[in-house]
Amino acid sequence: MPRLPAWTRRLFFPVRKPYRKPRRHPLARPLLLEPLEDHILLASSPYLVPGAVADSVPVHFHFARDAGYNNELGAYLVDDDAGRVGTLLPGQPGYSEAALRRADVVFASGAGDDSAHGATYHGGDRVALLLVQNGTISAALAENPGDSSGGGPLVFFGWAEANPDGFDHARGSGATLWTWEDLTGGGDRDFNDAVVSVGLDDGSAGPAVRVPGEEGQAVATTVTLTGREAAFHNEVDLFLVDDINGWIGTIQPGDPGYAMTALTSPSRRTLFSGTEPEGAVDTFDLPAGRYFGLYLVQNATSADVLLRPAGQRPAVFFLMTAANPDGVNHVRRSGNVFGFEDLTGGGDRDFNDMVLRVDFEAPQGGPTPSGDTTPPDLAA
């Protein structure tokens, strides 16, 4: 029998390649490689700076990139959630120039991967982002203020109608994560050319999270699984701690026995087991004024950890880096969004293996009666 040509052998007997976890940037959504679909979140909502109008609020930006272009990222204030600058809406003549004149450089053209930037705003400010394609804000103002598709450099906004090609160049998780496609017309649509997180911290895993309100009140809490790009079936749990540093009684993160203390805490609650689809939601009450931590069990469950002898237990990675067995940060935080890295040693540091968003409602109820020391029941 004559040997088939190579191209026909590939057609009828395709080569099966082993699974390799794709490289992603911090908090990048796994669905960004898919065609445009309704479930992709647009980044067309400005970041609302929390606090009173008179408050000066430090806001931090974190930047990751995978691009051949040296794009410049800028932040500018808008006057409403529709992105209005003065009287101009996105897409109206003069909008691009007005936005550029308001913009401050957040990450200059040529900024390196894993860069950070801090800025101070006032409570209630609405912050939007823009990307200058392979150029700078000053060059765009001088050479193409009208953002004409026939000129350059081009400027892309979070509103498609403001873009010269009419394409949605920014995706993300609400207003705290902006992932950009920098090629005109959408290019390869990988949306990882620039990944910018916006929040009240520097984007790294930090201290425990405080529940808003006063002691004795209850806060309805919703945790949403906004992203999942993992071969492992990881479990993510929440547990209460005694202070911002994550102490549980007399044990602090990094002390022997901290992990087992957290896993056996009566306040521990499993949020997601690793089998739920994106968009899964868990809703429950938390005690106001308390702090909580998070942890991920690598490709296993808390029950597996508790049942196995020391030395054979699955790895458990915490929000507090000091508690991690490899001493590596496994959680990247941007505001109320938490992205987990599930590989020992930090792996590919994409922080999108499990991505959670935590939302609090207004605290309810009054002070706890004197002498009430009953621990909250979060296990239900």
pLDDT of residue 64: 80
For 62, list phi and psi in degrees, rounded to 5. -120, 140
Return d(Cα 9, Cα 127) in angstroms, integer: 54
Is the pLDDT at 163 greater than 50, yes or no? yes
Nearest to 12 by CA among 2, 23, 20, 4: 4
Least confident of 9-13, 44-48, 113-117, 148-152: 9-13
Q: Are 124 and 48 in contact (CB under 8 A)?
A: yes
Contacts of 37 (CB under 8 A, 6+ apart): 31
Average pLDDT over residues 262-270: 97
pLDDT of residue 44: 59
Domain ranges, ordered by start, for the chain:
30-199, 209-360
Least confident of 6-15, 195-204, 227-236, 315-324: 6-15
Return d(Cα 145, Cα 140) in angstroms, integer: 6
Instruction: Identify the CATH assignment for 209-360 out of 2.60.120, 3.40.50, 3.20.20, 3.10.450.
Output: 2.60.120
Return d(Cα 57, Cα 79) in angstroms, integer: 18
Q: Using alpha carbons only, what angle is made at residue 317 by residues 231 and 227, rounded to the nearest 5 degrees?
A: 45
Most distant CA pair in the chain, distance: 90
Nearest to 54 by CA among 103, 119, 121: 121
Q: Report helix, strand or coil for 32.
A: helix
Say what the pTM is: 0.50
| C-alpha of 312 from chain center | 32
DSSP annotation string for 35-65: PP-TTSPB--S-EE--S-TT-EEEEEEEEEE
The pair of three-digit structure tokens given for residue 82, joined into one six-digit string: 């529709």
